[in-house]
Amino acid sequence: MQARVRSIFTAVFSLLILVGWFFFLRPTMLGGPTTYLMISGISMEPTFYDGDLVLVSVQDNYHVGDIIAYAIDDQFLDQKYVIHRIIGQTADGRFLTQGDNRDDIDPWTPTSEQVIGSAFVEIPRLGVVIAYLQAEPWRFAVAAGVITLFSVIPIGIGGAQKRHRRRDRRLAKRRKERLLY
């Protein structure tokens, strides 16, 4: 009975995690509200470091002090996005941004349409791990396989334990019946 309660609790908890991910953390490329960005460079130190993974989500309004990510179209830069802090706003509503580790204001003044979101979660160094796995397709496949194995093995162990318990109960019942006759 206790195993059944634990199993139900695990299933409900897993479902809640999945629903939470679906509504709040699902990537934009899957139709979700969250964009996942890897920090590249030192312009936001000490807030973010090179290789950190930052999750950004669209907000209704952005204010001075918010850290935003916005799209840029600069032929001289490799990157498509900048993630910097809002330090002001122009008369026509564009944002003035600056990296925490910079002395100068950014040359770009993004509009709210160019902003892809405000930073709400930072996971140190995870971007480096993801970039490493993405560099070679086999690395990602091996990592996915290992994760799958570790998530499936406990299910197999639990099933085997359940089968053994049932078998043990049957054997005990047979022994008891033999003793009675």
* 21 and 38 co-located in one domain: no
d(CA 127, CA 179): 65
pLDDT reading at 180 higher than 70 = no
Q: Report the greatest alpha carbon distance in the chain.
A: 97
* 23 and 88 co-located in one domain: no
C-alpha torsion sign, points 92, 44, 134, 123: negative
* 2 and 66 co-located in one domain: no
Model pLDDT, residue 31: 94
Number of residues that this document lists for the chain:
181
* 39 and 113 co-located in one domain: yes
Q: Is residue 69 part of a domain?
A: yes
* 81 and 163 co-located in one domain: no
* 119 and 141 co-located in one domain: no
Model pLDDT, residue 1: 60
Tokens of 118: 């405000």
- For helices 126-135 and 137-180, the axis angle rounded to 10 degrees is 100
* 103 and 49 co-located in one domain: yes
- What is the reported pTM? 0.74
d(CA 55, CA 24): 11
Q: Is residue 129 part of a domain?
A: no
* 105 and 118 co-located in one domain: yes
Q: Is residue 131 part of a domain?
A: no
Highest-pLDDT range among 44-48, 137-141, 172-176? 44-48
Query: In this structure, what are the phi and psi dihedrals at residue 36, rounded to the nearest 5 degrees?
Result: -105, 120
Q: Is residue 28 part of a domain?
A: yes
Model pLDDT, residue 4: 78
pLDDT digits (tens, 9 = 90+) for 15-45: 899 899 999 999 999 999 999 999 999 999 9
pLDDT reading at 158 higher than 60 = no
**CA torsion 130→136→140→142, rounded to 10°?**
-130
Tokens of 156: 């197999």
